[in-house]
Structure 1
Amino acid sequence: MGIDEDSLEYHAEDPPGKLEISTTKPTNTQRDLSLAYSPGVAAPCNEIAANPDDAYKYTAKGNLVGVVSNGSAVLGLGDIGAAASKPVMEGKGVLFKRFADIDVFDIELDEADPEKIIDSVRSMEPTFGGINLEDISAPECFTIEETLREEMDIPVFHDDQHGTAIISGAALVNACEIADKDIGELDIVFSGAGASALATARFYVSLGATRENITMCDSSGIITQERAEAGDVNKYKREFARDIPGGDLADAMEGADVFVGLSIGGLVSQEMVRSMADNPIVFAMANPDPEIGYEEAKAARDDDVIMATGRSDYPNQVNNVLGFPFIFRGALDVRATEINEEMKVAAAKALAHLAKQDVPDAVVKAYGDQPLQFGPDYIIPKPLDPRVLFEVAPAVADAAMDSGCARKELDLEEYEERLEARLGKSREMMRVVLNKAKSDPKRIALAEGNDEKMIRAAYQLAEQGIAEPVLIGNPNRIEKTKNRLGLEFDPEIANPREADGEYEDYADRLYKIRKRKGLTKSEAVDMIRRDTNYFGSVMVECGDADAMLTGLTHHYPSALRPPLQVIGTREDANYAAGVYMLTFKNRVIFCADTTVNQDPDAKILAEVAEHTADLARRFNVDPRVAMLSYSNFGSVDNPGTRKPRRAASMLREDPKVDFPVDGEMQADTAVVEEILEGTYDFAEFDEPANVLVFPNLEAGNIGYKLLQRLGGAEAIGPMLVGMDKPVHVLQRGDEVKDIVNLAGVAVVDAQQNE
């Protein structure tokens, strides 16, 4: 089945289309409905009538964008009409929601008269927080946007004009740095003189390009002063008319530093690329076929050609989705009256800056595990990079506030945290821990310091001020990897091979701890020199590091064994346990034990519950503990159900326990409020449990994985609780963000130990 057939099936599947409306408030009871509609809805109506700005307080206006088109210039399809453009506008709505959590109503107007379009859109201002104009032909689009921007008090943005300008502008900033060229001295040639090309040329001037150095070509050739005076070009093209001899695109490209293609495919030959200046920058952005193919342009010359296209199957895709969702996010959140030039420049610079940062593993995987590192083949971020939201939206909001078009002031640090919460509860929860870690960073021993992921994690930990990482490994290997990755930091490295020098005491300490467990002195020396898990464990045990992370390249039991043998459990604990924090859209659940104790008795279960409750509090969660079984409060009586029942009793009888706990109970009883209130109103807690203690390792491991995979939860962990000093054992293959998150947990553990 071809892509056309796949797409038709995709769009036609019930329900047809790609968008739906969902409620954001409870609608389960008669009271809910009376608040949502009559008679309760009168109260917010009256408040808004008295103060129209209260529409942002009581309605969805502040997070609602109107995507408006008449279908007269749909990308790659042309003038197909309003109805036929609706799948594209729905798709735009999908991108707004997916990347920036912005809701959209798509509006398709069956109208060609620009004045009538202006009247229609202007009359909808009470509905929307912003307007995204889309796929409207030039030159009408210029008149429509200019008029609406002047007459409306909300942001109006024609993405076809400004989207490509902003994204390619970010690419141009970085391309200049790589090619060692001054943007103010660039000789820039445009192929195409439509809405997108004109807006892009103007934007390059805002970034520092010289207007007199921009040559624009339309289908008749170079736009010259002579053509302008003869009335051969419209008033918009006249802006870039140059007082130079006429000619065609090939003439214009000779000696140029930059080619910008916003026209049609196949216009540029290899000979034309060869005629350009040294280390040329070629942005061939016609879709679906660029003005010159990626391989052709690269093969045309022996020096570096920095190449970008509009296609996803080549490096440096100029994709508008990198811009409009995040620009509107920032504009909406400060209630901007417009999207001005300062905000667009801020967006481009934020994108350019992000391209120089280490790329998350999830993004690399999404693009076929190809290396993504700042350079000629990576000058702009990828659209699926979640960090674009945190970089671009705050930059846009800040620029709006600085330029005076914001009606609401934001604390940018708090704002970034709110943006993270939009992408999932796990980010919100981890932000709590990471902020605590940053308040007093601790030394973290990274036992697998030679591993690339550990080195990248160390860089992020140091860069963000979360921890003071110590990489345990070979200094030469670590330095080579760090330099290859372009990570500019000077990590602390502990070399186990120096165990007979600086770290000689570590072997003595290991021998002292394990000599009555069958370990000889020579074996202790060998273990310290060869096993970084033992080296790291002794480093923490001796107080030379505050915490340790390992497990990235080891099986969990083999990674856990050294810290258990060397560091052990804390004084008030006899057992360690592994806990996963699962985050759903509106709730958080801690699952224990998922990794350590195979068949715990009641005493172990009680201890695990206490450790997990302590962990929940580090995330600012008040624990409510359920001891799980397949029985509800004695409905089945056998040795298996008595174990969690006894554990719950032990905890309730302990005067030191200051959290509600109950059981044994079935899993749905623990997490469904209606079951607790309706059937078991005698339970110790009347809100659903948020700490689930499973009766054995098998149940715990199965349970958390089912919740994660089928319940759509994000998992953070496993977090090791009960140790005398903070140690966390990663899962093999964890990503850099997992290492950073667990390091943050370890730092907070260490802070509490003090």
Structure 2
Amino acid sequence: MGLDDDAREYHRREPPGKIEISTTKPTNTQRDLSLAYSPGVAAPCMDIHEDENRAYEYTAKGNLVGVVSNGTAVLGLGDIGAQASKPVMEGKGVLFKRFADIDVFDIELDQTEVDAFCNSVRAMEPTFGGINLEDISAPECFEIEQRLRTEMDIPVFHDDQHGTAIISGAGLINAADILEKDISEMNITFSGAGGSAIATAKFYLELGAKRENITMCDSTGIITETRVEEEGLPEYKEQFAQDISNGDLADAMAGADMFVGLSVGGIVSKEMVASMAEDPIVFAMANPDPEITYEDAREARDDTVIMATGRSDYPNQVNNVLGFPFLFRGALDVRATDITENMKRAAAEALADLARQDVPDAVVKAYGDQPLQYGPEYIIPKPVDPRVLFQVAPTVAEAAMDEGVSRTEIDTDAYAERLEARLGKSREMMRVVLNKAKNNRQRVALAEGNDEKMVRAAAQIEEQGIAKPVLLGNRSEIEQTTTRLGLDFHPDIIDPRADKTEKYADRLYELRQRKGITRSEADELVRRDTNYLGSAMVEQGDADALLTGLTHHYPSALRPPLEVIGTAADAEYAAGVYMLTFKNRVVFIADATVNQNPSEEVLAEITKHTATLARRFNIEPRAALLSYSNFGSVENEGTAKPRDAAATLRADPEVDFDVDGEMQADTAVVEEILTDTYEFSELDEAANVLVFPNLEAGNIAYKLLQRLGGAEAIGPMLVGMNKPVHVMQRGDEVKDIVNLAGVAAVDAQNQE
């Protein structure tokens, strides 16, 4: 099947369409229903009657946007009518939900007359926290938006006009920065004079462009004062008329610093690009085909051409999904009455700033592992970059508060953390630890310092104030990598081949001389293997924690820390723990990496270490020792181990958390089974620390839960060591290194 047939099947598959409504409160009992509807609903109704702003407190209004269209200018389809536009409006709702967790009702109005359309939308104000106008033809779209903004006390935003303006505006800020051009002095040529082009030109004025430097062309040619007089051009075009001779697009592009295409594909030639000023900016944003292809624009010049299009298969995609979800997120969360020019500018500047930051590995992978680094081919963030939400929305919210169009005030720092939590429970949990780490920065050694991921992670650890990173590796290579990545970062480096490491070799020899290591071998190990160097630094107190394992097998990375640092005074064994986060639940899985067939003593020790780790995430541990047996239902050596370990823990006066076992996995995690079938259990709530009977079970379980259960995994976190050490999995991403650095830093704080 072709794309069209695939799309038809996608939309008609049961249930038809792309959206549904789900409840957010319990509706299982009669009491639930009486609270949700009659008679309980009367109380919030009367509160809202006394103060309408309480609708934001009691209803979904504050997270609900109306996507409204009359279908007169749909995508590239034109005037297809209100009913035919519904798949597009549903799709818009999907994007709101996917990128900013905003709920949407799509409203298709069979109204083409401005008064009737405005009256219909205005009457729906009590329902929504904001209105997104969509696919309405010019010039009616200008009047409709302006009237509704004036007449309504909630934000009204026509994305077709302003979305492209904001995203391309971010691109303009960065293109001008890279080319060292002053926006106020740039000559800018527009191809297109519809709603999007007019709004974009106006927005560029907000960014510093001069009206006299903007030349706008419609399908007839340059919009000039002569044409205004002779042809009676509409007011929205007249505002950009220039007192120059009539001409065509080629005339307008000659000598221009920037071309902005919001018209039709294929109308710009190589020769026209060649006629532009030195190092031109070409934003050819017609869809699906740009005014000139990326290849032709680059081939037209020998100097730098910064090119942007509306397509995802070229660099610098101008995609409106980078704007409207996050603009509305910030506006809704301060209960804004409007979306102002300052709020739009704040969004553009936040996007521009984000493009200058290091790009997460997950985003790079999503785009085929192509390099993404601030420069001519990366001036706009990618739509799948999760950081857009918690960087753009707070900036917009702050602008709304500064301008006085918000109904409520928020702490933007705390707000950014709440937004980050919307992206997943793991981010919320890691924020707890990272905030603790920032309170007292620890010195964390990164053993594989030559690796690019380690360098990038070190830069983020330093920038975010999580710890003081120390890269172990070749100084020259690390500095070259830092320069190549464009990182504004001067790392602390220990080069084992160039710096003094004698005391670490001495200590390694002292510790291992009766384990077959000579003094010369100790010296060679410290200089050749940064795992030994980092372990000795931590053991000697010159670093507070160690991270390793990114380029090594887990056992080979773990061996040096075990030999040099060893386990804690109260521990005989180390263990690897994963924290798995679900939408509304967090569980800790142990042991998943170290002990193959632990005894009951080892299981008990692992449980205590894991409970301590859970508390570092502000989780009160409830531990279950797992088996295929429930409380003696099967008697053999395998089921006896977790049962005896649980009994040992319950008898230990130092154990101050709930623990029980042996039990099956569903018994441990389903509260109803515990309370209804095994009311005698020490656990009266579902367990959040799950201790597996052997390494196979733990490793299999965490991987199944991650891949099939939709869990996000953080770890493995090594517990039971004498000083903080964490061994990563090979191929971990930068965010994993940063997260484990935070965990290691908090471990070190606790040891202090």
Aligned-partner Cα distance in 2 for 1:460–1:72: 47
For residues 355-410 of structure 1, give each alpha carbon's deviation from its aligned partner in whole angstroms, at most 9, with x where no partner exists. 00000000000001000000000001000000111111011001001111011111
Secondary structure (helix, strand or coil) at the match of 1:94 reads helix
Residue 5 of structure 2 corresponds to which residue in structure 1? 5
**Counterparts of residues 105-120 of structure 1 (less than 5 Å):** 105-120=105-120
Secondary structure (helix, strand or coil) at the match of 1:53 reads helix
Q: Does 1:189 align with 2:160?
A: no
For residues 125-145 of structure 1, give each alpha carbon's deviation from its aligned partner in whole angstroms, at most 9, with x where no partner exists. 000000000000000101110
The amino acid that maps onto 2:533 is F
Aligned-partner Cα distance in 1 for 2:372–2:80: 38
Residue 681 of structure 1 corresponds to which residue in structure 2? 679
Which of 587, 590, 609 does residue 588 from structure 2 map onto?
Answer: 590
Which of 677, 702, 705 does residue 704 from structure 1 map onto?
Answer: 702
For residues 209-249 of structure 1, give each alpha carbon's deviation from its aligned partner in whole angstroms, at most 9, with x where no partner exists. 00111010001111111112234310111110111111010
Aligned-partner Cα distance in 1 for 2:294–2:11: 31
Q: Does 1:751 align with 2:749?
A: yes
Residue 740 of structure 2 corresponds to which residue in structure 1? 742
Q: Does 1:418 align with 2:415?
A: no
Q: Which segment is superposed worse, 317-326 or 221-230? A: 221-230
Which of 619, 622, 637 does residue 621 from structure 1 map onto?
Answer: 619
Residue 634 of structure 1 corresponds to which residue in structure 2? 632
Q: Does 1:143 align with 2:143?
A: yes
| CA contact 2:156–2:339 (8 Å) conserved in 1 | yes
Secondary structure (helix, strand or coil) at the match of 2:607 reads helix
Residue 578 of structure 1 corresponds to which residue in structure 2? 576
The amino acid that maps onto 1:559 is A
Secondary structure (helix, strand or coil) at the match of 1:112 reads coil
Aligned-partner Cα distance in 2 for 1:629–1:37: 44
Aligned-partner Cα distance in 1 for 2:160–2:363: 26
Per the TM alignment, residue 16 of structure 1 is displaced from its structure 2 partner at its CA by 1.1
Aligned-partner Cα distance in 2 for 1:17–1:616: 42
Secondary structure (helix, strand or coil) at the match of 1:384 reads coil
The amino acid that maps onto 1:482 is T
Residue 431 of structure 2 corresponds to which residue in structure 1? 431
Residue 29 of structure 1 corresponds to which residue in structure 2? 29
**Counterparts of residues 500-515 of structure 1 (less than 5 Å):** 502-515=500-513
Aligned-partner Cα distance in 2 for 1:37–1:666: 39
Residue 556 of structure 1 corresponds to which residue in structure 2? 554
Aligned-partner Cα distance in 2 for 1:750–1:9: 55
Residue 725 of structure 1 corresponds to which residue in structure 2? 723
For residues 394-450 of structure 1, give each alpha carbon's deviation from its aligned partner in whole angstroms, at most 9, with x where no partner exists. 110010011110111110110011001111100000000000001111000000000
Aligned-partner Cα distance in 1 for 2:708–2:59: 33
**Counterparts of residues 166-565 of structure 1 (less than 5 Å):** 166-498=166-498, 502-565=500-563
Q: Percent of counterpart pairs with the same letter?
A: 76
Residue 128 of structure 1 corresponds to which residue in structure 2? 128
Aligned-partner Cα distance in 1 for 2:5–2:369: 29
Secondary structure (helix, strand or coil) at the match of 1:259 reads strand
The amino acid that maps onto 1:134 is E
Aligned-partner Cα distance in 1 for 2:682–2:182: 69
Aligned-partner Cα distance in 2 for 1:593–1:114: 66
Aligned-partner Cα distance in 2 for 1:620–1:230: 73
The amino acid that maps onto 2:708 is L
Q: CA RMSD in A?
A: 0.7
The amino acid that maps onto 2:185 is E
Residue 69 of structure 1 corresponds to which residue in structure 2? 69
- Alignment TM-score, normalising by the size of structure 2: 0.99
Aligned-partner Cα distance in 2 for 1:42–1:682: 42
Secondary structure (helix, strand or coil) at the match of 1:483 reads helix
Aligned-partner Cα distance in 1 for 2:350–2:487: 19
For residues 620-671 of structure 1, give each alpha carbon's deviation from its aligned partner in whole angstroms, at most 9, with x where no partner exists. 0000000101111111111111110101100000000000001111100011
Residue 56 of structure 2 corresponds to which residue in structure 1? 56
Secondary structure (helix, strand or coil) at the match of 1:99 reads helix
Aligned-partner Cα distance in 1 for 2:677–2:401: 54
Aligned-partner Cα distance in 1 for 2:222–2:229: 14
For residues 322-376 of structure 1, give each alpha carbon's deviation from its aligned partner in whole angstroms, at most 9, with x where no partner exists. 0000000000000010000000000000000000000000000000100000000
Aligned-partner Cα distance in 2 for 1:64–1:594: 43
Secondary structure (helix, strand or coil) at the match of 1:589 reads strand
Aligned-partner Cα distance in 1 for 2:246–2:97: 47
Per the TM alignment, residue 451 of structure 1 is displaced from its structure 2 partner at its CA by 0.1
The amino acid that maps onto 1:116 is A
The amino acid that maps onto 1:562 is P
Q: How many residues align?
A: 752
Aligned-partner Cα distance in 2 for 1:487–1:303: 25
| CA contact 2:501–2:527 (8 Å) conserved in 1 | no
Aligned-partner Cα distance in 2 for 1:109–1:287: 25
Aligned-partner Cα distance in 1 for 2:513–2:41: 75
Aligned-partner Cα distance in 1 for 2:514–2:81: 84
For residues 134-163 of structure 1, give each alpha carbon's deviation from its aligned partner in whole angstroms, at most 9, with x where no partner exists. 000000101110000001000000000000
Aligned-partner Cα distance in 2 for 1:6–1:724: 58
Residue 672 of structure 1 corresponds to which residue in structure 2? 670
The amino acid that maps onto 2:87 is P
Secondary structure (helix, strand or coil) at the match of 2:278 reads coil
For residues 520-577 of structure 1, give each alpha carbon's deviation from its aligned partner in whole angstroms, at most 9, with x where no partner exists. 1111111111111111100110110000000000000000010011000000011000
Aligned-partner Cα distance in 2 for 1:368–1:2: 24
Secondary structure (helix, strand or coil) at the match of 1:477 reads helix
Aligned-partner Cα distance in 2 for 1:157–1:474: 53
Residue 160 of structure 2 corresponds to which residue in structure 1? 160
Secondary structure (helix, strand or coil) at the match of 2:303 reads coil
- Which consecutive aligned stretches of 4+ in structure 1 deviate over 6 angstroms post-superposition? none
Aligned-partner Cα distance in 2 for 1:146–1:218: 23
Secondary structure (helix, strand or coil) at the match of 1:221 reads coil
- Alignment TM-score, normalising by the size of structure 1: 0.99
Q: Does 1:86 align with 2:86?
A: yes
Gaps of 5+ in 1: none
Secondary structure (helix, strand or coil) at the match of 2:471 reads strand
Aligned-partner Cα distance in 2 for 1:619–1:114: 55
Per the TM alignment, residue 7 of structure 1 is displaced from its structure 2 partner at its CA by 1.2
Per the TM alignment, residue 33 of structure 1 is displaced from its structure 2 partner at its CA by 1.4
Aligned-partner Cα distance in 1 for 2:392–2:577: 35
For residues 56-86 of structure 1, give each alpha carbon's deviation from its aligned partner in whole angstroms, at most 9, with x where no partner exists. 0111000000000011101111111111111
For residues 153-212 of structure 1, give each alpha carbon's deviation from its aligned partner in whole angstroms, at most 9, with x where no partner exists. 000000000000000000001000111110000100000000000000000000000011
The amino acid that maps onto 1:522 is S
Secondary structure (helix, strand or coil) at the match of 1:336 reads coil
The amino acid that maps onto 1:45 is C
The amino acid that maps onto 2:412 is L
